[in-house]
Amino acid sequence: MLAGHCMPISVRIIGNLQVRRGDAVLTAATLGGPKPRQIFEILLLKLGTPVSKDRLVELLWGGRPPGEALATLESYVSVLRRNLQPGCAKTGPLRTANGGYLLEPSLVELDLARFNDLVDLAEHSNPQQAYAALTQALNVGSGTLLSDELTPEWAEEARDHHTATVTAAQIRAAEIAAGLGQAHEAVQWSEHAVASEPLNERAWSALVTSLESAGRYAEGLQAYDKCRRLLDRDLGCAPGPALREAHVRLLQKTAETDGELSEVLEALLYLNERMRAQSLRESAMAAANSRSRGFRTGSNHESASRIISSFLNKALAVS
């Protein structure tokens, strides 16, 4: 059979492995065994790029290859070819090249490649086009990469990279959606990002600002407080300027929309900002050891500012 007449394959590796070749459907269990399947998956991760035999041996056996490793590898490749491209011998998607093997991209439609192409397209598009591309990308790419391969290190590294790329795409989708006035979608994307990476401050910033755009001020304050506590507990740091500014905006907007709390909140906001500024000045001075109403003199404004901020969050959550 001529190379041009070899049937292309459609492959899914986000989730459980699946290969479609015309009407035939192959799964992880029907590619000739674990090693042929893993060879296929490694080549899919490097679609269009040759992978040397030595590198494949290293990845497959983790530095503990069997005797006659190259011959064993070649036998596994033969098994994979018979299952993947019957009748095409060496002219199908799986090719021999430069002392190794590759998958010919013109004969392989891969979901991971589609996802990455759409993410890249979004980086070079206007907001409307970028949002459409990211939405398509996340529909394709949201899932566990190589879920049939739980133990190999190479699979775990690829999975971690893909997860990080998905989270970044979710955050970007949330930011663009908020800018386009699609607050509900922005909240959804940012919630997915926060669930995936709870210590990602940019994800929290997207969530807080999305909730602000949606007019859900109390929820935004609760999200900020949760972020603040997580960062303090796990990283020993506080939210950055963008999140703090969003926090102040949320407090101000809540005060504007709640007549009963308006005057109290405005007064507390004023005191909070004054105390924050004062604490910055006092941090440069030597603190005295005397105490005033439970606060050390050198940190009284900082402590009071934290207490006021906590009170505001609780009061608004209750309201």
- pLDDT tens for 111-154 read 999 999 999 999 999 999 999 999 999 999 989 999 989 889 99
- Whether the CA torsion 44, 46, 47, 48 is positive or negative: it is negative
Please, which residues bridge with residue 42 across strands?
none
pTM: 0.80
Q: What is the C-alpha separation between 106 and 99, in angstroms, rounded?
A: 21
Report which listed range, 176-180, 265-269, 314-318, is most confident. 176-180
* SS3 state at 300: helix
pLDDT at 1 over 80: no
pLDDT at 159 over 90: yes
Average pLDDT over residues 43-48: 97
* CA-angle at 315, arms to 313 and 318, nearest 5°: 105
Q: What is the C-alpha separation between 262 and 131, in angstroms, rounded?
A: 37
Please, which residues bridge with residue 26 across strands?
19
CA atoms within 13 A on the CB side of 255: 17
CB 127 within 8 A of CB 112: no
Average pLDDT over residues 88-102: 88
pLDDT at 39 over 70: yes
pLDDT at 300 over 70: no
CA atoms within 13 A on the CB side of 219: 11
Is the domain covering 3-109 a CATH 1.10.10.10 domain?
A: yes
Average pLDDT over residues 183-206: 96
Measured in Å, how far apart are the chain's first and last C-alpha atoms?
73
pLDDT at 167 over 90: yes
Mean pLDDT of the chain: 86
* SS3 state at 96: strand
